[in-house]
Structure 1
Amino acid sequence: MTGRPTPAVLPPPLRAWLGLIAALAALVVVTLGVLYAGHSEPGRVDRWVVEPTADSVRPPWRYVALATDFWGEPAGAATLVVAAVAGCLLLRLPRGAVLVVGGAGMTVVTTTLIKPLAGRTIHGDGNLSYPSGHTGFFTALALVVALLAAGRLGLGRKAATLLVLAVALVAGAAMGWAQVALSAHYATDVLGGWCTALAVVPATAWLVDRSADSLADRAADAAPRGRR
């Protein structure tokens, strides 16, 4: 087999730690979903953080929130995904390109499927709010970029873990703030979306690596027979 194998999107030093974090995040998503199932009012935690209203944030910060929210809307999200995929292909990271689409896509699909199961609404107008798809998507994409950066830089376990969690926290906090500020979600909806990304992306990255390694092994086994 010629050429170098493509680098893993889930760096080996992070597999155990992110596996544990993913499991805990999934537990949080389920727990919050059960606690707020069928609710249409903010919970105690939501009131403690901030209860979203139509004028939770006024200009100029409202414009900042609207600009941030755009990147979770279909047009903005598609732009980010295309840019990330293009960057991966330019850097010759085919697994990364697959993870960008798979990680972000699976996170959005997961939040979409959970919403009718949880049945939580906001403002009593029937809009399903748990978990936040905007927060989930933005966090997922940031997680993918952080994972690829950690692998490309060859960071050790501690540095890589710190980078991935810091990027996820900043991205989730930014989009989560925008969602609460614009009265689109409660704080616990945002937390659910953030944890959904933390649960889905590592699992998707593991599947991408397993699938790519399997295909590479099959190609390597078939190569000698093809030369005969």
Structure 2
Amino acid sequence: MSAGRVVTGGPERAVLPPALRGWLGLIAVLAALTVVALGVLYAGHGRPGGVDASIQPAVNGVPPPWRNAALATDFLAEPAGAAVLVVAAVTGCLLSRRPRAAVLVVAGTGLTVGATTLLKPLVGRTIHGEHLSFPSGHTAFLTALALVVALLATGRPGLGGRAGASLVLASALAAGAAMGWAQVALGAHYPTDVLGGWCTALAVTPAAAWLVDRMAGAGRRERR
């Protein structure tokens, strides 16, 4: 090796691992269809549905210390809490020299929350009289962030295929269940709003990861 030669690293790993593309694509389509179906079913409603009525009484209005836990979980998706989580995740990606991953953190969570913001007035479902509730943006945000972190972890050697798929699904379930419980316990959303938010994240985040990889690949081709 000559003294003047500069050694550079190889191309950054894809944020959507190839082994998971087909599986996550199918999940994303099913999740999108679920959001559409729930949105049509509850469009313009201001009351709980049958599923909501069977679940909500058992969760809503929990006493301390569970209410404190619900408030702490809810804060993670409030503007201040969400900003802290996103900045921390982006910083970790940049410190580990994964700029594409940092882009996905912002794009995945941003597009997911943006989708819930657009869907709420379109569906027009309300809770407590006038508050738009479907789908749950809090649930969508935390699920999207968990999905992004899990996708980045599956890019490491030894975590592809079935192990990677299990990690992604478990992360999405854990984050969605935690935030969903908090939202219903605090009376901020119906259970089906939570399901809609969870499915929105499952539909949007893999698509965002695919888009980030496509744009990064196009950028490399142009530079060549």
Pick the TM interval, shorter chain. over 0.9
The percentage of counterpart residues that share the same residue type is: 70
Q: CA deviation at 1:91?
A: 1.0
Q: In 1, Cα distance between the equivalents of 2:128 and 2:51? A: 17
What residue is the counterpart of 1:16 in the other structure? Answer: 22
Q: How does 1:140-179 map to 2 (within 5 A)?
A: 140-179=144-183
TM-score by length of 2: 0.94
Q: CA deviation at 1:156?
A: 2.6
Q: In 1, Cα distance between the equivalents of 2:158 and 2:141? A: 26
What residue is the counterpart of 1:93 in the other structure? Answer: 98
Q: CA deviation at 1:52?
A: 8.3
Give, as a single letter, the amino acid of the residue that structure 2 aligns with 1:173: A
**In the alignment, structure 1 residue 6 sits paired with structure 2 residue 12:** yes
Q: In 2, Cα distance between the equivalents of 1:117 and 1:139? A: 22
Q: In 2, Cα distance between the equivalents of 1:51 and 1:113? A: 29
Given candidates 68, 76, 89, the residue that maps to 1:71 is 76
Q: CA deviation at 1:218?
A: 1.5
What residue is the counterpart of 2:209 in the other structure? Answer: 205
Q: In 2, Cα distance between the equivalents of 1:163 and 1:47? A: 32
Deviant stretches of 4+, over 6 Å: none
Q: Report SS of the residue matched to 2:22.
A: helix
**In the alignment, structure 1 residue 115 sits paired with structure 2 residue 116:** no
Asked if 2 retains the 8 angstrom alpha-carbon contact of 1:146 and 1:164, the reply is yes
Given candidates 210, 219, 223, the residue that maps to 1:215 is 219
Give, as a single letter, the amino acid of the residue that structure 1 aligns with 2:35: V
Deviates more, 1:1-10 or 1:72-81: 1-10
Structure 1: where are the runs of 5+ without partners?
222-228
Q: Report SS of the residue matched to 1:92.
A: coil
Q: CA deviation at 1:47?
A: 1.1
Give, as a single letter, the amino acid of the residue that structure 2 aligns with 1:47: A
Give, as a single letter, the amino acid of the residue that structure 1 aligns with 2:182: A
What residue is the counterpart of 2:194 in the other structure? Answer: 190
TM-score by length of 1: 0.93
Given candidates 129, 134, 138, the residue that maps to 1:134 is 138
Q: CA deviation at 1:69?
A: 0.2
What residue is the counterpart of 2:33 in the other structure? Answer: 27
Q: In 1, Cα distance between the equivalents of 2:194 and 2:219? A: 37
Q: CA deviation at 1:12?
A: 0.4
Given candidates 30, 44, 47, the residue that maps to 2:50 is 44
Q: CA deviation at 1:110?
A: 0.2
Q: CA deviation at 1:115?
A: 0.1
Q: CA deviation at 1:40?
A: 0.5
Give, as a single letter, the amino acid of the residue that structure 1 aligns with 2:99: P
1:200-224 CA distances to partner (integer Å, 9 max, x unpaired)? 00000000000001111221x2xxx
Q: In 2, Cα distance between the equivalents of 1:13 and 1:92? A: 23
Asked if 2 retains the 8 angstrom alpha-carbon contact of 1:9 and 1:151, the reply is yes
